[in-house]
Amino acid sequence: MTDRDPLAQARRFSVAPMMDWTTRDYRVFARTLTRRTLLYTEMVTTGAILHGRPRERFLGYDEVEHPLALQLGGSDPGELAECAAIAEEWGYDEVNLNVGCPSDRVQNNLIGACLMGHPDKVALAVATMREAVSIPVTVKCRIGIDDQDEDADLERFITQVADAGCEVFIVHARKAWLQGLSPKENRDVPPLNYPRVHRLKASRPDLHIGINGGIKSLEECQTQLNHVDSVMVGREAYQNPWLLAQVDQAIYGEPGPADSRHAAAMALRPYIQRRLEEGAKLNHITRHLLGLFQGCPGGRRFRRHLSENAHRDGAGLAVFDDALGLVPEPVSA
């Protein structure tokens, strides 16, 4: 990799961008569990950045979130380049182009997975973005869409976009079926094809190839890292966040910031207080913690207490503290 990829080591493990999930509150929570993981924002469309106000709503983050990548949704090269430049001004470490989301809304605006059928547009967008910024410009894609050939068409897509200067691809190892499957079904129904991504890496050793899709444990991550450069985990990192507490040691060989689940929750407490003082609702923050004590004694009571009380008017730290009190200490595994 070139000096345009300062995140080469950091991105060995990342949390996937997920709409409504990888919000700034979730990302700060994730940092109580892992210092090294590369975090991604939700997908933000170019229209939201260029025309939405206040811009803080779409681009704001806490400094603790670094290393942090902004995922963009769009297809117009000029707009993407302008947004990439704005992202760099805001201090993001990477800009990632979404070429994997299968929803109808993004299809209608030529955003997401449908762009796999337009490698020329993606290549032009990448080239234009790279001219506008010095931070890495990366692409997250699928292994194909609809009736595309998973070998020939994926190879053609990667080659064309790589020729435009993209050096980092994170590949969701499933096709996206834009006709006939819902976005939810597209996350599970198309079969995973890890060997296809492994072959891509073998055929393009000059590129950074990451893998995404269906990975649920650090043991699986280690196995994948024998074949590819990086692993991106999505739903498992969100629904079972304690997984992240072992990432720094297992992937980077460094101790993580939390030695227990209680410690992680307590480390987030000052941030929760600050957000409440800014006018945030408690449940908008604590919804990201509901899986923290998954499988632990008292874990269901913790989840239920927050689910039933954090949304109430005036709910504050006392609700959070009461929920923690329902889980015996210490819980470290």
Taking the C-alpha atoms of residue 236 and residue 241, their distance in angstroms, rounded to an integer, is: 7
Measuring CA to CA, how many Å separate 62 from each of 1, 57, 137, 179?
28, 12, 22, 39
Interval 180-195 mean pLDDT? 82
Per-chain mean pLDDT for the chain: 93
Residue 165 known to bind ligand: no
Q: Above 60 in pLDDT, residue 178? A: yes
Residue 293 contacts residue 317 (beta carbons within 8 Å):
no
User: pLDDT grade, residue 211 (50/70/90)?
Assistant: very high
What contacts 184, CB < 8 A, 6 or more positions away? Answer: none
Interval 295-303 mean pLDDT? 96
Residue 108 known to bind ligand: no
The answer to whether 141 is a known catalytic residue is no
Taking the C-alpha atoms of residue 155 and residue 146, their distance in angstroms, rounded to an integer, is: 16
- Reported for 309-314, long-range contacts at CB under 8 A and 24+ positions apart, including other chains, are 310/281, 310/282, 310/283, 310/286, 311/281, 311/282, 311/283
Q: Which of 101, 114, 141, 166 is catalytic?
A: 101
Residue 266 known to bind ligand: no
pLDDT at site 1: 46
Taking the C-alpha atoms of residue 61 and residue 140, their distance in angstroms, rounded to an integer, is: 22
Where is 119: in which H helix or E strand?
helix 119-132
pLDDT at site 104: 65
Where is 94: in which H helix or E strand?
strand 94-99
Residue 213 known to bind ligand: yes
User: pLDDT grade, residue 250 (50/70/90)?
Assistant: very high
DSSP, collapsed to helix, strand or coil, labels residue 244 as: helix
CB atoms within 10 A of CB 206: 8
Residue 269 known to bind ligand: no
Domains of the chain: 10-252 (3.20.20.70), 261-324 (1.20.120)
User: pLDDT grade, residue 4 (50/70/90)?
Assistant: low
Give the distance, in angstroms, between the CA of residue 287 and the centroid of all CA atoms in the same chain. 17
pLDDT at site 246: 97
pLDDT at site 105: 60
Interval 197-225 mean pLDDT? 97
pLDDT at site 112: 92
Alpha helices in 172-290 (DSSP H): 194-203, 218-224, 235-239, 247-252, 261-277, 282-286
pLDDT at site 156: 97
